[in-house]
Structure 1
Amino acid sequence: MCVVDVVYSGFVYHENIKGWIKPFKLVTTWDKAAERCYSAGAIMASPIDKPMLSAMKSIILDQRDQSQYFFIGMNSKFAPEQFVSQEGIKLEDLPETAMITRLESLHGRCLSMNLTNIRVEPCSHRLAYMCYKRKQHLEENREPNECGTYDDEYKLNETTGSCYKYHMELKTWDEANIICAREGAYLAIINDEEEAKLHTAKIVDKQYDLYVGLRDLELDNNWMSIHGQPVEQLYNSWWQGAKRVVPPRHCGYLDTYTGQLDDSDCSSKLSFVCEKNPAVVRFPPRQTNMPQVEFAQETFTPSTTYALSQSLGLHVPGELL
């Protein structure tokens, strides 16, 4: 038996990582796993440091099949040849690089791990996974702001319903993508002309263009948002010379003078805008007034999770169990 703080149904608090982890045994694709973690106000767990690696290994040890692989939050979907966690940590910065087997990007753009190895996995494979909520801002005794974050540079726009933060420092597209991820956000997706005007109006000095969440990922002139939407379903007004440069350029930005999209060499450094869904509190602070509950680790099943959530007065969507 063990005593833990129960904050969200199925999430168990680990003091060594200052956060909560929940393993999901129902296998699914990487994208679906990321979506389910996000809907729970979490991210997919990755072994970004030694305490996190230890916590994830302890969960794997609790499984009946200890050779089982779990998806981790690292992928190279939007930065080819560069695997990055959802917190923005690069693969080469992991604490146990000896676990990393030969990584052939042709084999897939997602990663998985078991007790001994980290390997490349096609994102379409169906594996178990873990979701992680991080305890944040221990020094602050306050609630997240209206954008669901403690970063007050994110401002809510009532028209779009999203929050935005404008970074005027110059970064490559990959660097900008990582910074947004570290802030619990993503490079902004422009849905229509009104949103394009919103962003151009924020930038007074028109020499600063903005990287956005648009990329020609397959290098075949088929542009997609970082959420996988074809650009034809989004704002699709391009500068007349765009997509015609030789050699081609594969990262998208908003020209703040014309208000149109343009393409850039991904290594070029531009300003950028991050977008965040205010309804999702990515890393909620730990609630210290929640009751403590005793349970046996091996009997913590979806049914006991549901019963426990009911006794605590917590509403848990069925798909999260």
Structure 2
Amino acid sequence: MSQFLLLCAVLSVANLLVLQPGYEYVQDADAWLRLHKVPANWGNARLRCQLEGGILASPSNSAIVQAMLTQMTRHKVASPTVFTGIHSLNTELDFTSLDGKPLSEIELDWAPNEPNDDNEEEQKCVVLNEKGQVADVNCASKYPYFCKKDSAAMNATNDCPTTVRGYKYQPLTGSCYKFHRFSQPWNRAARICHAEGGHLAIVNDAIEATVLKHIFEKNPVEDVVGAIHSDVALIGIWKWEDDGDWMTIFGETLEKAGYAKWSDGVELHADHGAIQRSGLLDAVAKFDKDPFICEIEMTEENSV
């Protein structure tokens, strides 16, 4: 931790810092921003930021606006317009940011003839353009967007390259893991892991299987919420085709990845992977909700 604090102190001379992958520190606003260049509708943008442990960013002050415009230019965003966290979805007229700040408390420049909701198409979400001006748009439209985290959240870290709570480093494998007790279907679990900066865990050898087994032991059945199966956790393997081989999410066969020990009696007609409390592999249906394990692999780039 002392090395981490020293690193932050040395780097803080810059206006923009990079600590967690994708997030840059905006010194004048004391906030961290991450630009998502792939367009999404407002609801999915909000959800993605939430899964990352942040919030869909709003241009709440001039420093944030300038940082957004600078990153849009530097990262060459195809669309010169980005979604903000300002919306009127919960009210008929008043716009509010996702962190609860009413529009009257935010200094914004509206683009000419904006807002212009003419009741033919509801425009309850707000975008920021390359001139630093805002406009109301339909929330189903798709734009790039920024996620934001405050400094308190970014400083609440450990040996793992993420600010999302719950990850713990395992020296036997060189990865960080998090056990999610709130059950999800496999696709949603994979999305959550990705949003947190990792992926559904992949077992590469017997040692890693033992590590996951011990993680599982710390999460008894009574602490798991909404599971279809009481003794499995979703991991990053699946069957790409009905009659195909089992593969990792990175396209390797289980044999090449290093671990293919299945439990006896597994229903292999199911096409999404899990691990049992015993450390052996299991299979579940695509829409079965179960707990899951995310993994963040440590590299030279993301080591703190």
Q: What is the TM-score when the length of structure 2 is the normalising length?
A: 0.51
Cα 1:166–1:141 shift into 2, 3 Å: closer
Contact 2:200–2:234 (CA<8 Å) still a contact in 1? yes
Q: Secondary structure at the match of 2:240?
A: coil
Indicate yes or no: 2:265 matched with 1:236. no
Query: Which runs of 5 or more structure 2 residues have no equivalent in the other structure?
Result: 1-13, 47-55, 59-64, 81-124, 126-136, 222-229
Q: Secondary structure at the match of 1:139?
A: helix
How many residue pairs match? The answer is 200
Among 196, 210, 219, the residue aligned to 2:233: 210
- Which residue in 2 is equivalent to 1:276? 296
**TM-superposition CA deviations, 1:120-161 (whole Å, max 9, x none):** xxxxxxxxxx9x8x5423335736321012234211101100
Cα 1:227–1:96 shift into 2, 3 Å: farther
- Which residue in 2 is equivalent to 1:182? 195
Residues in 1 aligned to 2:270 and 2:154: alpha-carbon distance in whole angstroms:
46
Q: Secondary structure at the match of 1:179?
A: helix
* Structure whose CA Rg is larger: 2
Residues in 2 aligned to 1:267 and 1:173: alpha-carbon distance in whole angstroms:
7
Residues in 1 aligned to 2:24 and 2:208: alpha-carbon distance in whole angstroms:
40
Cα 1:161–1:96 shift into 2, 3 Å: farther
Contact 1:147–1:277 (CA<8 Å) still a contact in 2? no
Indicate yes or no: 2:287 matched with 1:267. yes
Residues in 2 aligned to 1:226 and 1:144: alpha-carbon distance in whole angstroms:
27
Query: Which runs of 5 or more structure 1 residues have no equivalent in the other structure?
Result: 22-42, 69-92, 101-112, 115-129, 285-321
- Indicate the percent of aligned positions where both proteins have the same amino acid: 25
Residues in 2 aligned to 1:181 and 1:156: alpha-carbon distance in whole angstroms:
17
Indicate yes or no: 2:274 matched with 1:253. yes
State the 1:197 CA deviation.
1.6
Cα 1:228–1:137 shift into 2, 3 Å: farther
Contact 1:216–1:250 (CA<8 Å) still a contact in 2? yes
Q: Secondary structure at the match of 1:266?
A: coil
**TM-superposition CA deviations, 1:25-66 (whole Å, max 9, x none):** xxxxxxxxxxxxxxxxxx7644426869x969x958x97x97
Q: Secondary structure at the match of 2:209?
A: helix
Contact 1:13–1:20 (CA<8 Å) still a contact in 2? no
- Give the structure, 1 or 2, with the largest relative contact order (CA under 8 Å, sep 6 or more): 1
